[in-house]
Chain A
Amino acid sequence: MLRYLSQIGKYFLMLKEVFNKPTKWSAMKQLIFKEIDDLIIGSLGIVAFISFFVGGVVAIQTALNLTNPLIPKYLIGFATRQSVILEFAPTFISIIMAGKMGSFITSSIGTMRVTEQIDALEVMGINSLNYLVFPKVIALLLYPFVIGLSMFLGILGGWIAGVYGGFASSDEFMTGLQVEFIPFHVIYAFIKTVVFALLLATIPSFHGYYMKGGALEVGKASTTSFVWTSVAIILANYILTQLLLTK
């Protein structure tokens, strides 16, 4: 228990250092664009693919469970919207990103640690935490756009599966999308997304930066980072849901 507390303390100290002693802006600008390319643009394909098909599956599953003829068909659109906006896009895409982005961040920083590249930065007088982690944090400010895309494609996938699968008409699906729509649910989803983005940028960086050992340990650190990032996302999801959605 004491070890976990000490790790959490070390994590927060790292966060403080990330915002200390900033790197020269001209260099930082390039680093931010590189991270946007690696982390955001590089994730769009997999996010689009998963969102589209999972949205479709949600619509089909909902339709197949609506066996009572008294239940209106527009519920397919309603259920797809609610599932995708409230949980699937912000939370489950973030857990998938903990695997994709997280392991990339941990292994790239971990390899820099193993090959003394981080020591090289420090010896030159560069705040290595600011140099390595800050651009990732800034790049992930664009993460809500990824999740926005995921929401759109998830619902589009649901619409295509629902309409072209013959489960509901386009009008019924559209009605379902609009019925009892609470705009705050979208705000809630994006608040979660911003918190998850911060966790996605910093927890894998922490595991990469403070790893010790060689190539094998880089692999282990990536796995550990995925586990802890997922745990943090799930816990943050619970806390934020409790705070934002309950009265």
Chain B
Amino acid sequence: MIEVKDIEKSFGDTKVLKGISTVFDTGKTNLIIGQSGSGKTVLLKSLLGIHTPDKGTISFDGRIYSELTNDEKRDLRTEIGMVFQGSALFDSMTVEENIGFPLKMFTNKNPREIQERVDFVIDRVKLINAHKKKPSEISGGMQKRVAIARAIVNNPKYLFCDEPNSGLDPKTSIVIDNLIHEITEEYNITTVINTHDMNSVMEIGEKIIFLKEGVLAWEGTKREIFKTDNEAIVDFVYSSNLFKKVRKAQNREL
């Protein structure tokens, strides 16, 4: 469980996060949604320790990040898996080298044990015929699978995904969403996904927090999102023509 308490973050005179408090539950896919510029990425980067909040605390299962020593922070980071928007795979390494990288850096496993674990994870994310290929030689969807495999190879307690569907076609997006969701449940990980893709929200949004102009404007589940009267979230969700039609249909049924 990740607990965020009263987080504030400014860049120069611009206050990007204005006192956000929430809890990201273990074993659930927690989604951060909001328009571009709402502070989603800054919140995610604050959770990852890339940005230091000006105020407030972030605690990982009771461990308050700002109170940890550098070594403790480093240890905590080995419990984190991250899927970046552009996958962020290492160009100079093959797919299996990319996936095995965290094991090589942070465990004392021998090459055979590393290979076994890599093969297992490759199998888990259903990557076919890609072991020896470089990231530039595989498709965007496969790159995302490799990124997910690399993120989970060291059995992380926390999985963060920044726009995991960006650049993917709708069908592949659903496959990737479902894969993240399955892995979250299977390994009981605290997963936090930063997205503005409403399909993802509807597919895997077990807990959703909606940011507007740096403020937590709404939180709930995917079932609650269509029932809420909160103007901010209604305005965001129904900005898509598809969802406008869904809403009209819902109103007619009522």
Residues of A that sit less than 8 Å from B by CB: 21, 23-24, 26-27, 34, 111-112, 115-117, 119-120, 122-126
The CA-CA distance from A11 to B102 in the complex, in Å, is: 29
A116 with B80: CB separation less than 8 A = no
A112 to B49 alpha-carbon distance, docked (Å)? 19
Would you list which residues of chain B between 31 and 80 have a CB under 8 Å from chain A? Answer: 48-50, 70, 73-78, 80
Ordered by A's residue number, 9 sampled pairs between the chains whose C-beta atoms are within 8 Å are A23-B105, A34-B92, A117-B88, A119-B50, A122-B50, A123-B49, A124-B101, A124-B106, A125-B73
Quick one: given A23-B105, A24-B105, A27-B105, are A125 and B78 in contact (CB under 8 Å)? yes
Residues of B whose CB lies within 8 Å of any CB of A are 48-50, 70, 73-78, 80, 82, 84-86, 88-92, 101-102, 104-106, 160
Question: Using Cβ atoms and an 8 Å threshold, which residues of chain A touch B77?
Answer: 123-125
Which secondary structure dominates where chain A touches chain B?
helix
With A and B bound together, what is the CA distance between A27 and B75 in angstroms? 18
A26 touches B104 (CB 8 A): yes
CB distance from B254 to the nearest CB of A (A): 45
B90–A117 CB distance below 8 A: yes
A117 and B91 contact, CB distance less than 8 A: yes
Q: Which residues of B contact A26 (CB under 8 A)?
A: 104
- Expressed in whole angstroms, the Cα–Cα distance for A111 and B48 within the complex equals 22
B78 touches A119 (CB 8 A): no
Say whether B74 contacts A116, CB under 8 Å. no
B86 smallest CB distance to A (angstroms): 6
- The answer to whether B104 and A116 have CB atoms under 8 Å apart is no
Which of chain B's residues have a CB closer than 8 A to the CB of A27? 104-105
Tell me if A123 and B105 are in contact (CB < 8 A): no
Chain B residues contacting A115 (CB-CB under 8 Å) are 86, 88, 91
Additional pairs, 18, CB under 8 Å, beyond known A27-B105, A115-B91, A125-B76 = A21-B70, A21-B74, A27-B104, A112-B91, A116-B85, A117-B89, A119-B88, A120-B84, A123-B49, A123-B50, A123-B77, A124-B80, A124-B102, A124-B105, A125-B77, A125-B78, A125-B80, A126-B105
Q: How far is the CB of A113 from chain B (nearest CB, A)?
A: 11
- Residue among B73, B76, B91 having the largest count of chain A Cβ atoms under 10 Å: B91
Bound-state CA distance A125–B70 (Å) is: 10
List A contacts of B73 (CB < 8 A): 125
Given A115-B88, A117-B91, are A123 and B80 neighbors across the interface (CB < 8 Å)?
Answer: yes
B91 contacts A111, CB within 8 Å? yes
Q: Which residue of B lies closest to A127 (CB)?
A: B74
Closest 3 CB pairs of A and B: A125-B77, A116-B88, A120-B88
> Which of the listed residues B82, B88, B89, B92 has the most CB atoms from chain A within 10 Å of its own CB?
B88
CB neighbours (8 Å) of B106 from chain A are 124-125
CB-CB < 8 A to B91: which residues of A?
111-112, 115, 117
| Chain B: minimal CB distance from A54 (Å) | 33
- With A26-B104, A27-B104 already in contact, the answer to whether A125 and B88 are too (CB < 8 A) is no
Nearest chain-A residue to B90 (Cβ)? Answer: A117
Please determine whether B84 and A116 come into contact, CB atoms closer than 8 angstroms.
yes
Query: How far is A146 from B128 in the complex, measured between Cα atoms in Å?
Result: 44
